[in-house]
Amino acid sequence: MAPGLSVARVQAMIAKSVAAALAAYQAANPGGGGGAGGAGGNPKPCSYKDFMNCKPHNFAGNGGVV
């Protein structure tokens, strides 16, 4: 470690940087973020009609893991 930098001082600098980054993230994403890979916010409800408009493949029940 560089002279004059104690472990406690480095930990304090890291904690300050993480707190600033978290505050900036929360300010930019007021919806509360999201799950993994999510866009955050409230998702639009999906009705059966909406689902069928996506033209899902027919399920035949034969086949392995995709």
Question: pLDDT tens digits for the chain (66 residues)?
Answer: 667 789 999 999 999 999 999 999 888 877 655 544 555 677 788 899 999 999 888 887 777 676
Cβ atoms of 41 and 31 closer than 8 Å: yes
pTM value?
0.43
Query: What phi and psi values does residue 27 have, to the nearest 5 degrees?
Result: -70, -35
Instruction: Give the 3-state DSSP-derived string for the chain, with helices as H, strands as E and coil as C.
Output: CCCCCCHHHHHHHHHHHHHHHHHHHHHHCCCCCCCCCCCCCCCCCCCHHHHHHCCCCCCCCCCCCC
| Sequence-ordered list of residues with C-beta below 8 angstroms from that of 11, at least 6 positions apart, any chain | none
pLDDT for the residue numbered 42:
77
